Chain A
Amino acid sequence: DVHLVESGGGLVKPGGALRLSCAASEFMFSTYTINWVRQAPGKGLEWVSYISSGSNYIYYADSVKGRFSISRDNANNSVFLHMSSLRAEDTAVYYCVRLVGTTHKYYFDSWGQGTLVTVSS
């Protein structure tokens, strides 16, 4: 079974920074696109960021663009989300998610358990 494990969440003050990690196993990590999806408490799912298998293509939601940075280390089967200038509205569970499918038909087939980020003074 595909395994994705997030870590690095916690309590951080507004304006602070945090780095989330996602460790992947049980699949050929270097050939898959990985995304981050977040969910604020009691709210819906929000797509956050995308990184292609070779890091050639990277995208961000407008809500985090310029503040978050996604990267990956294929040698160590890991993806990272560097978050800075954090705001209260960034408070959410952050999921590391594998993207599968064909062009124009991509979907998220495997999700980690999520890591909670709380931005509060």
Chain B
Amino acid sequence: SYVLTQPPSMSVAPGQTARITCGGNNIGFYSVHWYQQKPGQAPVVVVHDDSDRPSGIPERFFGSNSGNTATLTISRVEAGDEADYYCQLWNSTSDHPGVFGTGTKVTVL
């Protein structure tokens, strides 16, 4: 089955930029989506279809996808961005189409 690999954790200072990677074989051929999950809450989609933002998501959240790596970039990081982030894609050719990344915990220093 398809595997998506993320760094387990990262730390970033307020006002700086966080770049969260999601690695997968030829992931650039898929549409990648990103979720933010804060403690005790359900995940919320922050980027879908590689780089689209749902209404209400700040422009500070930017997604890109090419080759074997998709990236979620959070610019001007704020304390409220501290959360777990997951990438996800839908592998329509598989009997197990739903695929999540391993997750990255972002800590704001």
From A22-30, A43-51, A66-74, give the one contacting chain B: A43-51
B88 neighbours in A (Cβ, 8 Å): 45, 107-108
Is A80 in contact with chain B by the CB < 8 A criterion? no
* Total A-B Cβ pairs within 8 A: 71
A44 touches B86 (CB 8 A): yes
Please count how many residues in chain B sit with their CB below 8 Å of the partner chain's CB atoms: 27
- Report the contact-size class of chain A (Cβ under 8 Å from the partner): 20 to 34
Is B61 in contact with chain A by the CB < 8 A criterion? no
* A120-B97 Cα distance, complex, nearest whole Å: 30
A-facing mask of B37-50, CB < 8 A → 1, else 0? 10000111100110
Binding site for B on A (CB under 8 A): 35, 37, 44-47, 50, 59-62, 95, 101, 103-109, 111-114
Binding site for A on B (CB under 8 A): 1, 30-31, 33, 35, 37, 42-45, 48-49, 54, 84, 86, 88, 90, 92, 95-103
